[in-house]
Copies of this chain bind each other. A is one copy, B any other.
Amino acid sequence: MTDDDDIKNDLNGNGSYDLVTPQDYEYEHPFNFLHGGSIPRLNIRYETYGTLNADKSNAILICHALTGNHHVAGRNKPDDKAPGWWDHFIGPGKAIDTNKYFVICNNCLGGCSGTTGPASINPETGDPYGIDFPVFTFEDMVEAQKLLIDHLGISCLHAVVGGSMGGMQALVWAVRHPDRVKNVVTMACPAKQNTQAMAFNCVARAAIFEDPGWKEGYYAEQEGYGPMVGLSVARMMAHITYLSDFSLEKKTHRPADPLPGDTPTARFKRAITPPIWSYLRHQGEKFLGRFDANCYLYISAATDFFNIAGDKSLVEAFAPVQARVLSVGISTDWLYPAWQNREITIALNRAGKEAYYAEIEAANGHDSFLLRSDHLNDTVSRFLAGGSPL
């Protein structure tokens, strides 16, 4: 997901300014991972919005995307530059109406915004885990979320909602814990990671782990600043995949023509760094301040493992699902093309489940699920209220 304050402020300017405080749930027991390995304890950072009702039946869990976090709506401080990443979508009277629902969003297992991950201190060594952190999958992420839901005393979620990597986790909830969720909304995501998206992840990871600053993963314990060039390049590239040619063109202009007084060196620099480079570089640099390189390696690898069907057919894999499912495709998404969301709905219908598909006409590519859309708002709010979203 992008991190474009211009977009967020533009789109959320008339939204909620409610203050929200992050909370921590300390799970003081070993947490075991699907692919092996364990950690002695697990902290889960999360935020909540709205009020849990008496029978605890109005809770909606939001799953964030690759580089998102638990701060999904509102502001942590009155002077925050921008609200949470889905503020226009979640709040009083909004598509996910916090007058009605109790919304929970946690930083994912393995993240770097407060939940235990590779950048956290390993209590057994006193150093950051780094690449000694166990490899994890979305199944592990969902097990961690389930610990939080148990802790909050919620026996069944009204809904799990997410886009991109968040949509993948929502599908894992539907298949692995069918009795714990009544409604699932999955947006801009496939039933299994596609090879092109995996290839882009591989290049992003190569940029990071081939940067000498990575120091074989142990940059945090040593002098220096980590694989900053690699992480920035990875982010610049990934950013392109979240948008469309149209949305990139809106950001900038044609390459500047050479100026008459340019020296040869100035001419060369101008040629290799047109205005769109400045925009991307700004995205890369902002990212360095808020994300850890090892976390990026692990979480992107989790995305690559994602295959909800495993060795089964998709129809067979969906047999356990009890939730109603709304799958949303974005017309211009070329990272996870809309047909992949349609496929999910068709397989669920073939498995006899109540499932819907909605396609959002949007010009801005994959990340359009994060942008204000009356169509998306109406579709999701009708679905969550139990009606047909179409």
Contacts and interface: CB of A to CB of B under 8 A. Distances in A.
B195 A207 contact: no
A301 B273 CA distance: 8
Most chain B beta carbons < 10 A, residue from A205, A274, A298, A304: A274
A159 interface: no
A205 B36 contact: no
A210 B233 contact: yes
Given A135-B267, A212-B212, A267-B135, A202 B36 contact: no
Interface stretch (A66-74, A275-283, A346-354, A368-376): A275-283
Contact of A267 (B36, B276, B277, B297): B36
A245 B194 contact: yes
Interface in A192-246: 192, 194-200, 202-203, 205-207, 209-212, 229, 232-233, 236-237, 240, 243-245
Contacts of A207: 207, 233
Contacts of A30: none
Contacts of A134: 264, 267
23 contacts: A35-B258, A36-B258, A36-B262, A37-B264, A134-B267, A135-B258, A135-B267, A195-B251, A195-B252, A196-B245, A199-B280, A200-B237, A202-B273, A202-B280, A203-B233, A203-B240, A205-B272, A207-B207, A207-B233, A209-B272, A254-B307, A271-B298, A334-B334
